[in-house]
Structure 1
Amino acid sequence: MKPVHKSELQRLFKDYLQVEKNASPHTVQAYLKDLADFFQFMDAEGLLLEDIDQHSTRLFLTELYERKLSRRSVSRKISSLRSFFRFLEREKVVSANPFVVLSLPKQDKPVPGFLYGEELDSLFKVNDLSKPLGQRDQAILETLYGAGLRVSEIAGLELRHLDLSTCTLLVRGKGSKERYVPFGEYARVALERYIYQGREVLLGKAEKITEMLFLNNRGGALTERGIRLILKKMVEKTALSIHVHPHKLRHTFATHLLNEGADLRSVQELLGHSSLSSTQIYTHVTKDRLRKVYMNSHPRA
């Protein structure tokens, strides 16, 4: 099979990402955007696929740097194109992958932001627990922090994924990988209150019954965007001047566990990271905290 048109190549690559790689919609969109960017470069340079070699890949890399893109963005584009040419190589469209030998720029790994205890306390106190939406919002907050979930994971929870008797959640993470995650007593109380009180009220407004755990004010499934807006409104009710997003609660979950002595492998499993290197970034936070404690406490610091 040797498709000629770029639009056909894009369609086939999209199918490959969705079906064979089980990539998330966000990943598929990003890869296709990077591919379209590269096709524009090819058109501008008058290049065909069979013309792409190490020289043209370096030329493309130079153009990316000239556009003042961050090293993270450059790395992602190169990774996307490696995958694309790997696919073309497999399909016998090209004979080699010219992006394999192209070195990715070294990246600065940003230390993830997290919330301190007093900041969390402010958030936990803002919801009106006598109202259905307040009960829901408290349950979302306790679950995000108590189980360290991604926003996509909490939005995808169904009632059947929750076991209140053992305080565990069955979570579907990246690549549809499933894992069991425990949660604590605060989250259990918040979830129980919401499920047996607030959720029943919200469900009464729905046009059809749903098994999704978290509902919007019309009784339908709450979206990822809806969860972000809920958290933003919680912050606005407090005196906090910081930006809080769902992933920051996940960062806080991991940081607090490590600060209290949890081992890295356990935190990796709880977060659903496929690689330990993804979890190790949180050790920078704990090291920074230990240094501050030392400098503030040791007589000869």
Structure 2
Amino acid sequence: MAKRRTKLQLMQQAGPPEKSTQSVDSIRNDFLDYLRGECHLAANTLAAYGRDLQRFLDWLGRRRLDAVRVGDLTEFMGFLNEQQLAPASVSRSVVAVRTFFKYLQLEGLVTENPAELLSAQKLWQRVPGVLSRRQVEDFLAAPRKTDAFWQRDVALLEVLYATGCRASEVCSLRLADLSLEQKFLKCTGKGGKQRMVPIGGRAIEAIERYVDELRGILAAKNPNRPEALFLSRSGRSLDRIQLWRLVKQYARRAGVDHQISPHSLRHSFATHLLAGGADLRQVQEMLGHASIQTTQIYTHVEHSRLKRVHQQFHPRA
């Protein structure tokens, strides 16, 4: 009897063979393959999730995944805050950990998901500052004819604000994606998803001037006949870093907040549309958001602005 009890205890301690033999590194790699193959995450998002997850696993050390409890995850949140990470980075880390434990549960590697009770910081609290309409006008007028590639830069900034596209989406635009007569652009978003985005007259004029006067000169510097719409001085496709630098350069010239980024124009695009009475579903479609909850962060931004106005001017606020 004693012999049988000892055998049972050993079996209980060992657990299922597939769980005990699979390393944490192997589980991590399988999870990233799952995000890549089944969730169709973009490469940049996948890389960010990988870094977030590795930070969590490094913090976890030798503790078993199936032994993690809500209290442990709360301690991890405190650790992230101690690292003085940006609120957006903390929130993304929480999403990565929650998704990871959901995957572990689906795979039968854990029986309970303690991360379900883990709450991330509210999305709307970490939306970057939105430019006013006057600031947008000053910013879009910042390129001067004395600038070497002013036609390209004017078109670039106009497209960012006119469409609300992400920096990566604007950089990947091709000539074939333009339907200027129909006032549309075809852009490729996260996960390779394509959508048609309307574009206004000012941006169309800027694009046509750039294509007529400058793009051919830049394209001639690259024998590979580039298809990209926006080209660098060497004739290659403009990348996100170059775009970011141009936005910073013209923001400084226009006297706009130094923290402005290409994404700030996307936020301003959405907020100004909603403030003007646009339907939330339509804005969601133009931004390419998979979930309307993501688009709703802009209603919070607009409500916050109205609240400040009320507190400032209402006699009984």
Q: Do both share a fold (TM > 0.5)?
A: yes
Alpha-carbon deviation of 1:74? 5.0
SS at match of 1:109: helix
Work out which of the residue numbers 41, 64, 69 in structure 2 matches 1:23. Answer: 41
1:159–1:212: 8 Å Cα contact kept in structure 2?
Answer: yes
SS at match of 1:180: strand
- When residues 160 and 216 of structure 1 are mapped into structure 2, their CA distance, relative to the original with a 3 A threshold, is same
TM (normalized to structure 2)?
0.81
Distance in 1 between residues matched to 2:314 and 2:28, nearest whole Å = 60
Alpha-carbon deviation of 1:113? 1.7
- When residues 98 and 263 of structure 1 are mapped into structure 2, their CA distance, relative to the original with a 3 A threshold, is closer
Residue ranges of structure 2 left out of the alignment (5+ in a row): 1-17
Distance in 2 between residues matched to 1:292 and 1:181, nearest whole Å = 32
1:99 aligned partner: 114
Alpha-carbon deviation of 1:272? 1.5
Instruction: Write out aligned runs for 1:126-275 (5 A).
Output: 126-129=142-145, 133-275=149-291
Work out which of the residue numbers 81, 88, 95 in structure 2 matches 1:68. Answer: 81
The structure with more radius of gyration: 2
- When residues 259 and 245 of structure 1 are mapped into structure 2, their CA distance, relative to the original with a 3 A threshold, is same
1:125 aligned partner: 141
TM (normalized to structure 1)?
0.85
Distance in 2 between residues matched to 1:100 and 1:127, nearest whole Å = 48
Alpha-carbon deviation of 1:293? 5.8
SS at match of 1:207: coil
The number of equivalent residue pairs is: 295
Residue ranges of structure 1 left out of the alignment (5+ in a row): none
* Identity score, percent: 36
Moved more, 182-191 or 274-283: 274-283
What do you get for the CA RMSD once the two structures are aligned?
2.9
2:103 is equivalent to residue 87 of structure 1? yes
SS at match of 2:93: helix
Instruction: Write out aligned runs for 1:37-76 (5 A).
Output: 37-43=55-61, 46-49=62-65, 51-54=66-69, 57-66=70-79, 68-69=81-82, 73-76=89-92
Alpha-carbon deviation of 1:259? 2.2
1:206–1:220: 8 Å Cα contact kept in structure 2?
Answer: yes
